[in-house]
């Protein structure tokens, strides 16, 4: 809720309830100009669940104003706030939770930069210049 510029959420899986909850939670921030990017697998990369339902969730998020990036090689579990605060662990932030899930908060521009480079690759420079 303290984000001022941007939020990146990387979540390999998506759950309808979690997406709706997150969208409601972040709506006011987005309206104030905070850019929110969601990184997830494309529906055809997931071997379980309905790819049509995942596509519907992604489309609803796009229509709500989220920027979407499809993961191609790997999809980690993290969130980055304002290119400095990192939440990292095995929790699917937009997917189903498990009792054994864990996450840690780290304040590090270097770690945030490494995760963004791993996720956005060569487009990192262009991505960062949008903020």
pLDDT digits (tens, 9 = 90+) for 101-114: 778 899 999 999 98
The answer to whether residue 32 sits within a structural domain is: yes
Q: Give the domain extent around 52.
A: 6-129
Predicted TM-score (pTM) of this structure = 0.81
For residues 44 and 52, give the distance between their C-alpha atoms in angstroms, rounded to a whole number: 9
Q: Is residue 15 part of a domain?
A: yes
Would you say residue 34 lies in a domain?
Answer: yes
pLDDT tens digits, one per residue of 6-53: 999 998 888 888 899 999 999 999 999 999 999 987 765 555 556 788
Is residue 36 one of the residues assigned to a domain? Answer: yes
**57-67 residues labelled b (16+ CB within 10 A) or e (exposed):** bbeebeebebe
What total number of domains does the chain contain? Answer: 1
Q: Is residue 63 part of a domain?
A: yes
Residue 71 has, within 13 A of its CA and on its CB side, a CA count of: 22
Q: Which residues pair with 56 in a beta bridge?
A: none
Question: Which tokens belong to 72?
Answer: 């191609």
76 phi and psi angles, rounded to 5 deg = -85, 170
Asked if residue 1 belongs to a domain, the reply is: no
Residue 56: give its domain's CATH number: 3.30.870.10
Q: Is residue 121 part of a domain?
A: yes
């Amino acid at each position: 809720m303290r984000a001022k510029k941007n939020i990146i959420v990387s979540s390999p899986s998506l759950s309808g309830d979690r997406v709706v909850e997150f969208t409601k939670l972040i709506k006011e921030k987005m309206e104030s100009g905070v850019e929110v990017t969601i990184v997830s697998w494309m529906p055809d990369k997931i071997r379980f669940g309905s790819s049509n339902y995942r596509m519907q969730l992604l489309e609803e998020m796009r229509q709500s104003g989220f920027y979407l990036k499809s993961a191609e090689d790997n999809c980690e579990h993290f969130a980055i706030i304002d290119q400095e605060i990192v939440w990292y662990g095995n929790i699917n932030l937009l997917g189903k939770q498990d009792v054994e899930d864990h996450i840690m908060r780290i304040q590090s521009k270097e770690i945030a930069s490494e995760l963004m480079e791993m996720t956005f690759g060569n487009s990192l420079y262009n991505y960062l210049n949008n903020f």
